[in-house]
Amino acid sequence: MNAKGEAGTHLDIEKLSFEKALSELEAIVGKLERGDVELEQSIAMYERGEALKAHCNRLLAQAEAKVEKITTDASGRPIGTEPLDS
């Protein structure tokens, strides 16, 4: 990951899959935890990390909204679906 990728616009984040965004977020956290990054770069990385976190949260919420559970009749045969949290 280069400095431009970390400090660049956050528009490219919207194109990332959940897995790629999470992987990049984990890499940023690791670098910040080591503390071997200059202050200016740390701030840019932190801001990108916040944008990645928000993107991951949006993707998780979208996936959660799609999850349904299968409903069954008295004999256990599937008869339809309903929202998971009903």
Structure tokens at 7: 């400090």
Tell me what pLDDT residue 5 has: 44
Tell me what pLDDT residue 78 has: 83
N-to-C CA span, the chain: 42
Tell me what pLDDT residue 59 has: 96
Is residue 72 within 8 A of residue 78, CB to CB? The reply is yes
> Who's near 31: CB < 8 A, 6+ residues apart?
37, 45
Is residue 59 within 8 A of residue 21, CB to CB? The reply is yes
10-residue mean pLDDT profile of the chain (86 residues): values are: 48 93 97 94 96 97 80 85 70
Tell me what pLDDT residue 86 has: 52
Q: Where are the domains of the chain?
A: 3-83
- pTM exceeds cut of 0.75: no
Tell me what pLDDT residue 9 has: 59
Is residue 48 within 8 A of residue 61, CB to CB? The reply is no
State the DSSP code for 65.
H
